[in-house]
């Protein structure tokens, strides 16, 4: 094993950069030995503290650069920190192990993959790839993927992996319904299929290192000695697997420093466990806790508003944010008729702020709870000729033509990757029909082999003769391209040859449609990205390039310098800041989401999400809500968010400068299923009574317009399928249909007027 030596001489004096830190920041930076919890409030300079702490460890010769592991949640955060450290201490920062959990542990797995039965060039499957595999497995098990959704099964498997529940354990202890039983069966086959394809999914990048370390204590000790100091950013967002793998690595020296803010824990839906940060001092009894409480980002008014919200939560670490900034403008509440009115007024306010105060487009962010809300804002901004960028839309690397080209390239590195092989074996069409492909799959299953191994000897198989010739041509092409790449041909030249020999680019040109030309342009852009990658690397490799792009996130693609207004969900905005922020759609059942019936909804997490949204703002902040909103093709009355009743009334105002009317008791003495209708609005509507009776149901429903009980989120009972929850609705009147997720039967689409449904508490 490689050893790391430190200079024998003592450093002379303290680094000059410490003089720029406040007292709490300096304490966090200079506490070098033992476990450390840094509770970093929003805008308190946590990135600066992490950066300076690493620089301090190096300048004090506490560790060599190779002995410091810094884990982040985005490539962007890692890149920025590394650049800052390099500016402080020079080129030795390049040797730091710094990156996202997934990128760092995939790097370790590349070195150690053979210890757990994988090849070093394993493929990393994204969510779509995983769901493709699961869909195929469901079909092989004779389940209809339209009824049993691959996405649902994948979510269950992903949650299990993050909780370190293996397939056998899931089968033995966690099956309580038909859907669970199907999941257990798929889970086992899914793991086997990935192993045969020499592939790992995102969750495996965290789970497999734990298996590696537990099965090979010598490997664990090697990396414990390598990583003498461990730093983890955004610790409140870690899941159980991330907690476990870092605890294993830190066990020898316990020089673990975690930085986070429990008030910004907003990812429980993807497995984040807030107890990891809340219980850190129980895990490490000798831990020191340092709070960073001075906010450098927001005005006093914005900070006061955020503080009034987060104090409503009961589960939190003790801290009180403060700032030396000016008091600033009070927060303005916009009350709108509907979502179109909301979008138009937000666009108008942006125009006025630009004219009166000189703001630029990239000074603005419009934050919403769910992606579908973006449409009306896009339309409004286009009408006013205001440039915008949408964060969270279809990723460049998720476009069909890009996925196709990357599938070809993946096979050059890992030809056993079944999912990518099946994707392009007849793309573009080369005369290999679905029947022939199914014959190949069947043969592979019978021999417990990969499809690639099967088609190496295609002449010996019972396959349609013309298709057999086409398969042989495909195999020869892949082998030829692999040989050229291994012989030293550049990635760029290999891609060019692949596009020519496969006929992919020619097919797009021959189609000669607007869409095909756009696809061709996207492929050219991918070629540019590959050339740029090669230019910036001393030893570029196709495997490394594929790994790099497989770990790109939406936040990594955000361009803060682009002269455009940013549209994004609150979740996507975490870690960013803007001079002017509009938080829109502040209505019950939208933000907070699902508050009407509290079905699997954590109001404290929704409140933390609102806190995150507020603390993105530096100078000006707007809240916006609608009186009505179109849902399922019908205009429905909206109740403004309970959060608007919780904010400090002294820091918010209406557009006229008046104090907003708050009702603090709107949700008191009511069941969690009460939507808390807001009676602030003077609605002059005719309340025509209607009676809804499901023919097979035993209950009659009397309700007024806008109060139909069969809404998205409602829990229902079906006489045959049992308990479930409405997850979507379409159609009007007697043509209304609902999609219900039943605990024991999966998803069902039902005609509302005929289905024997009853609302349950």
Q: Give the residue numbers marked as catalytic.
A: 46-47, 233-234, 264, 616
Q: Annotated binding site: which residue ranges? A: 40-47
Give the containing element (helix H, strand E) for 291. strand 288-292
Beta bridge partners of 583: 367, 623
Q: What tokens were used for 482?
A: 């692999």
Residue 102 CB neighbour total at 10 angstroms:
22
Q: Strand 737-742 and strand 746-751: pairing?
A: antiparallel
Nearest partner of 546 among 646, 687, 684, 408, judged by Cα? 408
Nearest partner of 44 among 438, 326, 323, judged by Cα? 323
Q: Annotated binding site for ATP: which residue ranges? A: 40-47
SS (H, E, C) 499-551: HHHHCHHHHHHHHCCHHHHHHHHHHHHHHHHHHHHHHCCCCCCHHHHHHHHHC
CB 219 within 8 A of CB 212: yes
CB 255 within 8 A of CB 288: no
CA distance 28 to 25: 5
CB 701 within 8 A of CB 692: yes
Q: Strand 36-40 and strand 715-718: pairing?
A: unpaired
* Whole-number Cα distances in Å, 706 to 100, 186, 624, 637, 760: 46, 41, 22, 7, 19
Q: Strand 617-626 and strand 331-336: pairing?
A: parallel
Burial of 532 (0-12, 13-18, 19+ CB in 10 A): exposed
Nearest partner of 233 among 47, 36, 512, judged by Cα? 47
Write out the DSSP string of 160-226: HHHTT--HHHHHHHS--SHHHHHHHHHHHHHHHHHHHTTEEETTHHHHHHHHHHHH-HHHHHHHHHH
Residues 6 or more apart in contact with residue 473 via CB below 8 angstroms? 430
Which stretches of 450-490 are DSSP H helices? 451-455, 465-486
Residues 6 or more apart in contact with residue 310 via CB below 8 angstroms? 263, 316, 607, 608, 611
Burial of 658 (0-12, 13-18, 19+ CB in 10 A): exposed
CA distance 181 to 236: 32
CB 660 within 8 A of CB 384: no
Which stretches of 364-448 are DSSP H helices? 374-383, 400-413, 418-424, 434-446
Residue 550: what are its φ and ψ, rounded to 5°?
-70, -15
Residue 364: what are its φ and ψ, rounded to 5°?
-115, 145
């Amino acid at each position: 094993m490689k050893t790391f030596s430190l200079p024998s001489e003592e450093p002379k004096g303290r680094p000059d950069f410490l003089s720029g830190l406040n007292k709490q920041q300096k304490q966090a930076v200079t506490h070098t030995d033992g476990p450390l919890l840094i509770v970093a409030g929003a805008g308190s300079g946590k990135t600066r503290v992490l950066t300076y702490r690493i620089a301090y460890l190096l300048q004090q010769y506490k560790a060599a650069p190779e002995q410091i592991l810094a884990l982040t949640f985005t490539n962007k955060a890692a890149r920025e920190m590394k650049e800052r450290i390099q500016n402080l201490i020079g080129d030795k920062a390049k040797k730091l192990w710094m990156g996202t959990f997934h990128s760092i542990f995939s790097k370790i797995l590349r070195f150690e993959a053979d210890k757990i039965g994988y090849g070093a060039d394993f493929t990393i499957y994204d969510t779509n790839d995983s769901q493709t595999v699961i869909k195929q497995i469901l079909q092989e098990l004779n389940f209809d993927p339209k009824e049993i959704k691959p996405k649902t099964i994948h979510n269950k498997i992903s949650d299990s992996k993050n909780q370190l529940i293996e397939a056998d354990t899931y089968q033995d202890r966690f099956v309580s319904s038909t859907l669970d039983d199907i999941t257990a069966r798929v889970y086992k086959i899914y793991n086997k299929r990935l192993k045969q394809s020499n592939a790992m999914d995102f969750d495996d990048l965290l789970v497999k290192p734990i298996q590696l370390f537990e099965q090979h204590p010598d490997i664990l000790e090697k990396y414990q000695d390598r990583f003498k100091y461990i730093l983890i950013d955004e610790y409140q967002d870690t899941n159980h697997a991330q907690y476990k793998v870092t605890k294993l690595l830190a066990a020898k020296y316990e020089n673990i420093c975690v930085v986070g803010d429990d008030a910004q824990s907003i990812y429980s839906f993807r497995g984040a466990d807030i107890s990891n940060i809340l219980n850190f001092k129980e895990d490490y009894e000798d831990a020191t806790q340092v709070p960073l409480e001075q906010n450098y980002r927001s005005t006093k008014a914005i900070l006061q508003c955020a503080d009034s919200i987060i104090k409503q939560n009961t589960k939190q670490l003790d801290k009180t944010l403060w700032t030396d900034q000016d008091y600033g403008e009070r927060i303005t509440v916009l009350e709108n008729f509907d979502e179109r009115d909301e979008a138009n007024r937000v666009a108008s306010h942006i125009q006025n702020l630009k004219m009166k105060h000189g703001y630029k487009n990239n000074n603005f962010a419009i934050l919403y709870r769910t992606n579908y809300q973006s449409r009306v804002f896009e339309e409004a901004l286009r009408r006013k000729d205001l440039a915008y960028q949408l964060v969270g839309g279809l990723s460049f690397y998720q476009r069909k033509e890009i996925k196709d080209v990357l599938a070809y390239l993946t096979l050059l590195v890992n030809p056993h990757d079944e999912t990518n092989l099946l994707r392009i074996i007849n793309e573009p069409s080369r005369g290999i029909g679905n029947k022939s492909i199914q014959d190949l799959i069947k043969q592979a299953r019978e021999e417990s082999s990969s499809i690639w191994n099967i088609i190496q000897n295609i002449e010996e198989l019972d396959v349609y003769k013309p298709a057999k010739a086409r398969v042989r041509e495909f195999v020869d092409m892949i082998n030829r391209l692999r040989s050229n790449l291994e012989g030293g041909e550049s990635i760029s030249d290999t891609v060019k040859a692949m596009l020519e020999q496969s006929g992919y680019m020619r097919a797009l040109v021959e189609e000669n449609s607007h869409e095909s030309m756009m696809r061709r342009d996207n492929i050219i852009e991918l070629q540019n990205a590959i050339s740029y990658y090669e230019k910036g690397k001393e030893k570029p490799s196709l495997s490394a390039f594929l790994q790099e792009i497989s770990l790109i996130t939406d936040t990594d693609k955000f361009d803060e310098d682009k002269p455009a207004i940013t549209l994004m969900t609150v979740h996507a905005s975490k870690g960013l800041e803007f001079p002017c922020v509009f938080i829109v759609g502040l209505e019950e059942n939208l933000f907070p989401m699902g508050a009407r019936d509290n079905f699997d909804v954590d109001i404290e997490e929704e409140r933390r999400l609102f806190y995150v949204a507020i603390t993105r703002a530096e100078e000006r902040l707007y809240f916006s809500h609608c009186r009505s909103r179109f849902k399922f093709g019908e205009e429905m009355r909206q109740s403004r968010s309970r959060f608007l009743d919780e904010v400090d009334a002294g820091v918010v105002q209406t557009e006229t400068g008046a104090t907003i009317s708050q009702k603090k008791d709107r949700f008191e003495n009511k069941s969690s299923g009460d939507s808390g209708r807001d009676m602030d609005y003077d609605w002059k509507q005719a309340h025509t009574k209607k009676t809804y009776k499901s023919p097979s149901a035993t209950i009659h429903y009397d309700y007024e317009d806008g109060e139909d009980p069969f809404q998205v989120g409602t829990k229902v009972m079906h006489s045959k399928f049992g308990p479930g929850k409405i997850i979507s609705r379409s159609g009007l009147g007697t043509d209304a249909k609902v999609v219900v997720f039943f605990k024991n039967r999966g998803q069902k689409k039902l005609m509302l007027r005929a289905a024997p449904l009853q609302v349950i508490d």
